[in-house]
Structure 1
Amino acid sequence: MQYEGVLTKMQTQAGAPIQYYLVFEDSFIHMNQLLGQPLEINFLGYKCLNCGKKKKIYRNGFCYDCFYSSPAAGDWIMRPELSTAHLGIADRDLEYETKVQVQPHVVYLASSSDMKVGVTRKTQVPTRWIDQGASFATPLVEVPNRYLAGITEVALKAHFSDKINWKKMLLNDVAVIDLIARRNEVASLLPAEVQPYFETTPEKLYTLEYPVLEYPKKISSLNLSTTPFYSGKLMGIKGQYLIFEDGTVMNVRSFEGFVVSIAV
């Protein structure tokens, strides 16, 4: 069967295991059903997720012009401490930024390889952790806007990483960490204006199970720009990565805006 469309990050549904879907404009693929089966991926071209033009993708599914003009690609996306909508100050589009920034956000601890600290909108729990391939996660504080979450992350980055070792994550080399114990230990490191939110944030540990038949022993990353055609047997899905039998892995999110055909 043949599918064709523009890649966007896989949509997920919490479960044991997590369910994954590749969604195109006129069709979708339930990826879990393809485990153990051969898959062919053919790169056909580009389509910017913002303007829809067939222009080369620059970053995050956007062409160059859209990446530097769209409010969905502002610096505050990756650096939430730069958020200013709660002050009524615009970066690129105050209406859009207020909608995204001025809503409950969660600062969390997660174990994807080693322990990391991160930020997500409350509405993206547990989707954000799934996308990062976390095995375990726990909310640290829930705050009313993105700025407070950002300054909390900055404070904690002085003590813990905010990055994932994606290779260790895909090899399933996950450190065994008591996240609840660490959560209580780091409470004193929170900024003063955030500490009151710690007491009102429920203590809960999330465990995430991924659909993987077999983890690879070595991995190599597929780049559709340099390898426009690939064929392999799908053995697992973790984070936003497809894992193949030969150790090839593909980060679907890295190729948002790429037009592909997929034969199954």
Structure 2
Amino acid sequence: MSAITHALQDNATLIGRSVRASARDVESILVSVLLPIMLMCTFVWVFGGALDTGGEYVDYIVPGAILLCAGYGAAQTAVAVAGDMSRGIIDRFRTMPISAFAVVNGHVVASLARNAVATLLVVGVALLLGFGPTATAGEWLAAAGVLGLYVLAISWVSALMGLLAGTPEAASGFTFLVLFLPYISSAFVPTETLPGWLQGFAGHQPVTPVTNTLRELMVGTPGGEPWAAVLWGLGLTLLGVAGAAALFRRKGR
């Protein structure tokens, strides 16, 4: 068996392990889905009438709710990776003829699968709330690509944070950072309505260009920033992969 085939089998096995573990963690799944849905309903029903975004507020907020859901789900990767590191399962894997780093890959791929399901549920609820997308099939595919790259980036950064944290309790703090970022962006209100000293940060952090791009693709609102969204996604993915690989080797020694 070639080294490539062996590595692919290792990754497939550990991806299945992570997916099964995610499916059994019902509490995390419910929170990662229900929290964004509850926030979306709150903003639409309670604050929507007071916020002027130039159109239906539900159309404005859905991309932000999707990113909130995806970010929280991806941030759970940090907790899962930290759990593996603290329980010593990595030492067990190192005694076997498998690629131990495939454990991290498995958690990242499980994050992508988990978020795909959660995103579909959020969009389904949004349609019930009156969300009226105008996207063509090509625009839906482009939106899925942008969102997938964002989830991949956050998942790898989360894996890096899980390796840095060392314990699941410490790693869970990363989820608060990811949940906080969408509020200082264009996810819920236009950035120009924020205080001047916040607008610079809001306009130059990853959530804003991704949100604007999804909003333009889904409902045709101008102002998308596809290149910025892609560059943020690629940059954060490279940072997460490189950092996680280096830290995993160091901790393994």
Which of structures 1 and 2 has the larger relative contact order (alpha carbons within 8 angstroms, sep 6+)? 1
Higher strand share: 1
Relative to the length of structure 1, the TM-score reads 0.24
Higher helix share: 2
Relative to the length of structure 2, the TM-score reads 0.25
